[in-house]
Amino acid sequence: MRHGIPVAGNFLQQELAIMTGAVDVMLVDVQCIMPALGSLCGCFHTKLITTSPKCKIAGAEHIGFSENRAVVVAKQIITTAVKNFPNRKSNINIPKVRESGIAGFTAENTFYNLGGRFRESYRPLNDAIISGRLRGAAGVVGCNNPKQVHDYGHLAMIKELIKNDVLVVSTGCSAMAAGKAGLMRPDAAAKYCGKGLLEI
């Protein structure tokens, strides 16, 4: 995302991404890997690559990652994808659904975003808490669960929190769920936020 590459989805959508027919390489490390990913990639032209010694999957190519060889390993993986591109079939189906959002806050740019261009400060946040307009902050994180409706748990919790003037910080699958639902855009505030959070 830092380099302008859009996010395709979260944990439960990895198999759907492969089924578009447009994924030349699926690269996985140690987290959030569907058990059938290896066999699914075998049904398409997608090459599956693992990078961690803790995660080697049958049918996948293993390219070990180490920080001192990061650029070399990245080039090797990208070269694999480029070489596999001609193997794409003609029946590629990428959904036309798109959503925009603002993401990727750091401690430094949060300071700027809260205080404004001329007065970088946590003061507006502190004042909002002291005055009671902001009732708190909550981190909503975690993966989806295949036993539940996709993204439902994340979205229900986030909407309830912001309705009650709680600032929500999110990452991972939860952030992707919020982004897909339009909750990571400033105009989401007008639709879902309580009066105090809306003022802030």
pLDDT digit string, tens, across residues 16-58:
999 999 999 999 988 788 888 999 999 999 999 999 999 888 8
CATH number of 107-199: 3.40.50.2030
Cα distance between residue 170 and residue 176, in whole Å: 9
Radius of gyration of the chain (CA): 20
Question: What single-letter amino acid sits at 123?
Answer: R
What is the pLDDT confidence band of residue 2, given thresholds at 50, 70 and 90?
low
Whether the domain at 11-87 and the domain at 107-199 fall into the same CATH topology? yes
Name the token pair of 119. 């007065």
What is the pLDDT confidence band of residue 102, given thresholds at 50, 70 and 90?
confident
Q: In what order do the strands lie in the sheet with 25-28?
A: 25-28, 47-50, 61-62
Most confident of 111-115, 120-124, 138-142: 138-142
Architecture of domain 11-87: 3-Layer(aba) Sandwich (3.40)
Cα distance between residue 24 and residue 41, in whole Å: 10
Region of 28 please: left (phi>0), alpha (psi -120 to 50) or beta. beta
pLDDT digit string, tens, across residues 126-146:
888 999 999 999 999 988 888
Question: Hey, how many other C-beta atoms are within 10 angstroms of the C-beta on 45?
Answer: 17
Cβ pair 183, 100 in contact under 8 A: no
**What's the first-to-final CA gap in the chain, in angstroms?**
26
